[in-house]
Amino acid sequence: MSSFQTSPGMRDILPPESSRWRAFTQVFADVVEAAGYQQLIPPLLEDLGVFTRIGDATDVVTKEMYDFVDKGDRRVALRPEQTASVCRSFAQHRPVTPWKVFYSGPNFRYERPQRGRYRQFDQVGIEVLGVDDPMLDVEVIALAWEFYQQLGLQQVSLIVNSLGEPDDRSRYVEALRTHFAAAGDSLTEQSRTTLGKNPLRVLDSKREPDAPFIESAPQISDFYSDEAAAHFDAVQAGLRALDIPFTLEPKLVRGLDYYRRTIFEFQGGTLDSAQNALGGGGRYDGLVEALGGPATSGIGFALGVDRTLLACDDEGVFAAEPRDLDAFVVDVVGGIEAVKLTAELRQAGFAVDRGYDNRSMKAQMKLANRSNAAVALIIGEDEVANNAVVVKPMRGGDQQTIPRSELIEHLSGNLSQKTGTHD
Ligand code: AMP
């Protein structure tokens, strides 16, 4: 047994699952690139301050950060999410707006690992900086929706809310503070602590004793300014125009502190309720400014790769499909012929593997079988002498001896060069 194992909450994504991961990000990139988004690849590690600016009332920042002092005495952290990095990048480089970017890659949160919750987990996401138009909110939500459709997921539901303008939100927060404070010790201790920092987050509590006070809490919609109400109405009208089904959820506040106006979450129909959020996002005007840039409106979403793939498993869609091999070369005359033939075929665009170590014909044919290649290409003494190759179909059919000079043409005509697709 190996003496080292992955750390808690960290996983190897092994083949063939790994090819599904790559296909997942490819489908995502295809959907958002077709809408004008370009990829940003921020570093995994940032100045700790980039994340503490997100807010100090979130567990993500206060309890779960992988932060440390590097060899140059800098306080740094592995990113727990990527929106803050995107905003830091915008503030640093000042690109022209609208800046429409997408990202994919791992984040780190020191959480209690369980199914669908890991310490290293991947997200794909988009962010748009510099546009206030509610129709952009609609576009952003619609792209996530389109992506779920492309994966084949049928049981995803969309919930939306608006947190209003910052002033509306402040008045609402005060009303919540008063409401929850009146509950006194009936509220759980954790919620009383949260109340001191950010009353909004008390609405996130899933603890039973808090439920009646959350139920009777004031509603954000009663605090909307005309402007906030108009923005939210426009977003809903846009979603209806695109036939995207959604539910209004006035108690949706989302985990991170920086949201205002539109917020939304996608929930899977098959996962446990604690892990059923597949992704979410919203508007976060103010974050770029907090990171030293100009006042800039922003909106985006992040979708959890790990959890979305669990939902795909549960719904039986988007299966792992590693690339099929076209051919497996079996060389029983020393190996140099296999070196030449595999190189030639790979250059011609075929996916080709081979046997090694000059093993017996039987052993190499076993490998050819296991490789799932469409044909075995066999080279023995006779084939070398005649400058030919035996082509043996692995899924039925007669073997044929083909002159070496005609092999590529023969294979092109006989193999569908289909690579792994996820249609
Ligand atoms: P958040 O950045 O917290 O809004 O999360 C967005 C999405 O990322 C969630 O809906 C999950 O799908 C995923 N996610 C967040 N934290 C984790 C985690 N610890 N493990 C796996 N997925 C996660």
Shared domain check, 119 and 248:
yes
Q: Indicate whether residue 80 lines ligand 1 (CB < 6 A).
A: no
CA 349 to ligand 1 center in whole angstroms: 39
Question: How many A from CA of 397 to the centre of ligand 1?
Answer: 50
Q: CA-to-CA distance for 356 and 365, rounded, in angstroms?
A: 12
209 lies in a domain? no
User: Would you say the CB of residue 305 lies under 6 angstroms from ligand 1?
Assistant: no
Q: Is 113 in the pocket of ligand 1 (CB under 6 A)?
A: no
**353 vs 78: CA distance, rounded Å:** 38
Give yes or no: residues 93 and 156 share one domain. yes
Q: Is the CB of 393 under 6 A from ligand 1?
A: no
**Based on the domain organization, do 231 and 342 belong to the same domain?**
no
- Please identify, by atom number, the ligand 1 atom nearest to the C-alpha of residue 116: 21
SS3 169: helix
Last residue of some domain: 290, 315, 340? 315
Q: Domain range for residue 41?
A: 17-165+224-315
Ligand 1 center from residue 2 Cα (angstroms): 31
User: What pLDDT is recorded for position 269?
Assistant: 86
Q: Is 130 part of any domain? A: yes
* Ligand 1 contact, 265 CB (< 6 A): no
The sheet with strand 388-393 has its strands ordered as: 352-354, 327-331, 375-379, 388-393, 400-403
Same-domain pairing of 239 and 152: yes
Ligand 1: does its nearest atom lie under 6 Å from the Cβ of 257? no
**Does 127 sit in the ligand 1 pocket, CB within 6 Å?**
no
pLDDT for residue 255: 64
Q: Which two tokens stand for residue 151?
A: 């994966």
Residues 124 and 64 in one domain: yes
Q: Are 247 and 148 contained in the same domain? A: yes
Per-residue pLDDT of the chain (423 residues; tens, 9 = 90+): 679 999 999 999 999 999 999 999 999 999 999 999 999 999 999 999 999 987 666 778 888 999 999 999 999 999 999 999 999 999 999 999 999 999 999 999 999 999 899 999 999 999 999 999 999 999 999 999 999 999 999 999 999 999 998 889 889 999 999 999 999 889 999 999 989 888 888 988 888 999 999 999 999 999 999 999 999 999 999 999 999 999 999 989 876 667 889 999 999 987 776 678 999 999 998 899 999 999 999 999 999 999 999 999 999 999 988 888 999 999 999 989 999 999 999 999 999 999 999 999 999 999 999 999 999 999 999 999 999 999 999 998 999 999 999 999 999 998 854 443 333
Decide: 173 and 197 in contact? Cβ < 8 Å: no
Q: Which residues pair with 80 in a beta bridge?
A: none
Distance 279 CA to ligand 1 centre (A): 7
The percent of the chain in helix, strand and coil, each rounded to the nearest 5, is 40, 20, 40
User: 393: buried, middle or exposed (CB in 10 Å: 19+, 13-18, 0-12)?
Assistant: middle
**Alpha-helix runs per DSSP H in 316-406:** 336-347, 361-370, 381-386
Pairing of strands 327-331, 352-354: parallel
Does 255 reside within a domain?
yes
Residue 239, domain CATH: 3.30.930.10
The CATH number that applies at residue 413 is 3.40.50.800
The dihedral sign for the CA sequence 258, 261, 262, 265: positive
Q: Is 267 within the bounds of a domain?
A: yes
pLDDT the model gives residue 414: 84
- The predicted structure's pLDDT at residue 421: 37
- CA 290, distance to chain mean position in Å, is 26
Instruction: Report if residue 365 sits inside a domain.
Output: yes
pTM for this one? 0.91
Count of positions (residues) in the chain: 423
* pLDDT at residue number 257: 67
Amino acid at 337: E
Phi and psi at 313, nearest 5°, equal: -60, -50
Which ligand 1 atom is nearest residue 305's CA?
A: 12
251, 388: one domain: no
Question: What integer pLDDT is reported at residue 420 of this predicted model?
Answer: 38
Nearest CA to ligand 1 atom 13: 304
Instruction: Domain count for the chain, please give it.
Output: 2
Of 315, 337, 370, the last residue of a domain is 315
How many other CB atoms are found less than 10 A from the CB of residue 222?
Answer: 12
Ligand 1: atom nearest CA of 279 is 10
Give me ligand 1 centre to Cα 117, in Å. 8
Q: Distance (Å, rounded) from C-alpha 283 to C-alpha 260? A: 5
